[in-house]
Structure 1
Amino acid sequence: MLPATIFEMDMKVPSQRLLLTILVFLTALPLVSINIFLPSMPTIIDEFGGNVAAGVSTVSIYLAGVGIGQLFYGPISDVYGRKISLVAGMSVFAVGSLICTLAGSIELFLLGRFVQSFGAASAIVIARILARDVYGSARAASILGYTLTAATVAAGLSPFAGGALDGMVGWRGVFATLVVAGVLMAVVCLIGVRDGILNRPLVRDRVNFATVFAITRRPSFLMYALFSACLFGSWQAFLAGVSIVVIGLWGYSQSEFSAWWLVVSLSYMVGTMIAGRYSTIYGKLAMIGVGSILIVAGASMLLAMALFDFRHPLGLFPPMSILLIGFGAAEPSAAAGALEASPDRLGVASAILGTMQVGFSILAISVVAYLPFHTALPLVSVSVGMALAAVALHYALRKVASP
């Protein structure tokens, strides 16, 4: 019988504190990379000829690279081990950041962003796997909750750091900093992720469509993966259109919008803190149950405010904050549950989960991009619809998955 976690094996492993620190940095790096250059975006657009559409597309290109990258790194981590996959991914991240730093055209800059995000995908997909590998199924949701809390704080502070760096050394200095971060993370993973048996091939056969199909047809996987992916889509839909509604349609200032935005940003962090504290005590299904109650409550309030055309930030941000607390409380359990449904193919399962999250996010953003913004209702309908679909699909599939 295999041991529940690698701490039960007779092998040298990094301390739990060191490994948890590595997981935090792995989880934070992709999020920081998205946000840290946002204050520099107008400067980058101006320097490369004022192509606003190309500048804005850096976000969608980054998401695409993350989605494709997870499909790559997840399966190879099953075959070649977690450490080598992480070191390779962080090296690719550093190379992509270097391309951005030296870019002389918007096309080369966009190429660099794709390469950067392709490398960053290794951190996203393998951090989830390591949490499951090392801490076992029972503690994985709690560990993911704590790492997401720290990563959310880092992501929230990164635009301030990016703005300060831009002011001191210019936007290229921001990406040069990411080059250094990528190199350091590659070295840290090479030295610190001594996962013993996990460095040897875990499976001998290569991944094919049959493997992917076998995982995606399992109700025990889908009930968690669809829950997570739909909620990511709900959040990204809101994110894509809320500034258009509040600033462009309702006429509030950027400073007023930023103040309300801080409330929403902190809400998800509160949820992940709850997950970190209570997931081990109450279990995955209980945490998803509590999260679902908050999600439905927040979504219902959000929809009601939109139907009455309540044109005040109070009609958007507090209800979304309730929804995000529920999301943050339930998401680590959903991620851990999806991996637990495929213990023989953790890398592939994590890759599919991440790609579904990105895919649903891109779908939601694409729908919002074509909406008429005469009221907040179209935006809210997409966000609420995906949130309620997450809860409905989870409980429907739970009945199928139950023996």
Structure 2
Amino acid sequence: MTAADTVAAPPAALMPGDLMTRRQRLRLILVLGSLIAVGPLTIDMYLPALPAIVDDLATSSAAVQLTLTGTLIGLALGQLLIGPLSDAVGRRKPLIAGTALHIVASVCCALAPNIAVLGALRVVQGLGAAAAAVIAMAVVRDLFSGSSFAQLLSRLLLVMGAAPVLAPTLGSELLRWTQWRGVFAALAVFGVLLLLIAILGLPETLPPLRRQRGGVVPTVRLYGSLLRDRAFVGLVLVAGLAMAALFAYVGGSSFVLQGQYGLDEQQFGLAFGAGAIGLIAATQANVRLLRRYSPQRILFTALLVGSAASLVLLGFAATGIGGLPALLAALWVVLATAGLALPNAPALALTRHGEAAGTASALLGAAQFGIGAVAAPLVGVFGTGAMAMALVIAGGMVSALVVLLLVVRPGRLPAMQPETETMAVAVH
């Protein structure tokens, strides 16, 4: 008996994804990454146009920020509805229907006559985008678990990370040739491409024998069982609070960087993209870190460093020391630590409930976007300056660390199987 035999799990522990070739995994990452990207693109692509929307629709910056909140609310509510539905009928049908809704809503946003209509349509647009977000996460859980899940999710975040990097830049370039309405027309075109990808590139991953019984009562019971799991709820809150810090940056950055520091639309797109490089780099570093450290340890360290960096950011914003370079440097560190926290918190949470991956993913996504929906307008409530943005970012990161320590208690979570062990199973 070899050393590999002593650590390898029995064949029954294999997940379908463990038998995939490298090429098959790459194709899966590209397909699922395209699906996950629709949310960040829908949220971020119109950010450079926020000041222009204020002028064109004769409204206030706070009212325009509420259109971002509407999108996040739609994403949260949509996931709560689509998650259980996908556990009952499979992954493909809800994905196709939600993507079609996103296309229609994007076209209508491009034609919105006032801020109230635009805000309502952004909610509907978020509902449609929710299908791609929750289905992609559920498909990953259908195929993988444990450290394999966390590593594949990190790879997905590389693809997804390109969306917030490119979205404001793409929006800025579009604004050279069109008005803000053209941004929503471009989102409609992307939705059509996404629909083709869903139809042609994603097979059904939830066989009928593994589907949950549909209906209101079973769905309520399933949500109840998830909410009784203290560690799961804590990890969901951790992911939501970390996402809140990210959305505070998303919601406030255009007003801070353009309004307070005087960057134009193109400079803002470049600065926003440069900040997101930290997020992308960290998600890929996470793949290597998982070969040596547990997800629990990585998550704790990331939140500890992220909390410290967010407090430094708050100090820079309050005093003005270092100017814009210091502010962006502190933001880069916060985004990098978020890039480590965001793959590991969901992986730890969803590994606990593989039997209801769609519903668990929905609750996780709803918390992330729901808490983010609260964070974005908070920046507007406190003001539109760097101090307001930094205050909400610091609140999110510090709160996530507190919840991890007091509610989740990471030392009590069961160990997750390393990727090397999973590969040993596949080889043997």
TM-score by shorter chain over 0.5 = yes
Contact 2:257 2:263 in 1 (8 A): no
Deviations 1:73-105 (A, max 9, x none): 111111111111211111111121222244455
Cα distance in 1 between the residues matched to 2:251 and 2:51: 18
Query: Which residue identity lines up with residue 402 of structure 2 in the other structure?
Result: A
Paired position in structure 1 for 2:422? none
1:184 aligns with 2:189: no
Paired position in structure 2 for 1:380? 390
- Judging changes above 3 Å, is the alpha-carbon distance between structure 1 residues 246 and 196 closer, same or farther for their aligned structure 2 residues? closer
Deviations 1:149-175 (A, max 9, x none): 222223222233334444446554443
**Secondary structure of 1:204's partner?**
coil
- Judging changes above 3 Å, is the alpha-carbon distance between structure 1 residues 240 and 115 closer, same or farther for their aligned structure 2 residues? closer
Range that drifts further, 204-213 or 92-101: 204-213
What are the equivalent positions in structure 2 for 1:3-402 lying under 5 Å apart?
4-7=14-17, 15-41=24-50, 49-52=57-60, 54-168=63-177, 171-198=180-207, 202-206=211-215, 207-241=218-252, 252-254=261-263, 261-279=272-290, 281-305=292-316, 310=321, 312-371=323-382, 376=387, 379-399=389-409, 401-402=412-413
Contact 1:240 1:365 in 2 (8 A): yes
**Could you tell me the percent identity over the aligned residues?**
27
**Secondary structure of 1:310's partner?**
coil
CA RMSD of aligned residues (A): 3.2
May I ask how many residue pairs the two structures share in their alignment? 396
Deviations 1:256-289 (A, max 9, x none): 8766545422221221121234335533113213
- Judging changes above 3 Å, is the alpha-carbon distance between structure 1 residues 365 and 94 closer, same or farther for their aligned structure 2 residues? closer
Cα distance in 1 between the residues matched to 2:337 and 2:232: 20
- Judging changes above 3 Å, is the alpha-carbon distance between structure 1 residues 283 and 199 closer, same or farther for their aligned structure 2 residues? farther
- Judging changes above 3 Å, is the alpha-carbon distance between structure 1 residues 154 and 373 closer, same or farther for their aligned structure 2 residues? closer
Shift of 1:234: 2.2
**Secondary structure of 2:145's partner?**
helix
Cα distance in 2 between the residues matched to 1:133 and 1:334: 18
Query: Which residue identity lines up with residue 368 of structure 2 in the other structure?
Result: Q
**Secondary structure of 2:14's partner?**
coil
Cα distance in 2 between the residues matched to 1:169 and 1:238: 26
Shift of 1:185: 1.8
Cα distance in 2 between the residues matched to 1:257 and 1:304: 22
Q: TM-score, normalised by structure 1?
A: 0.85
Greater relative CO, 1 or 2 (CA 8 Å, sep 6+): 2
Cα distance in 2 between the residues matched to 1:374 and 1:171: 23
Cα distance in 1 between the residues matched to 2:386 and 2:183: 37
Contact 1:306 1:315 in 2 (8 A): no
Query: Which residue identity lines up with residue 274 of structure 1 in the other structure?
Result: A
Shift of 1:116: 1.7
Cα distance in 2 between the residues matched to 1:335 and 1:31: 17
Range that drifts further, 389-398 or 254-263: 254-263
Contact 1:339 1:350 in 2 (8 A): yes
Contact 1:269 1:325 in 2 (8 A): yes
Cα distance in 2 between the residues matched to 1:151 and 1:372: 30
Q: Structure 2 unaligned runs (5+)?
A: 1-10, 415-428
- Judging changes above 3 Å, is the alpha-carbon distance between structure 1 residues 353 and 308 closer, same or farther for their aligned structure 2 residues? same
Shift of 1:358: 1.8
Contact 2:102 2:125 in 1 (8 A): yes
Deviations 1:125-156 (A, max 9, x none): 12111112123333111121122122222322
Shift of 1:204: 1.3
Cα distance in 1 between the residues matched to 2:272 and 2:177: 26
Query: Which residue identity lines up with residue 394 of structure 1 in the other structure?
Result: L
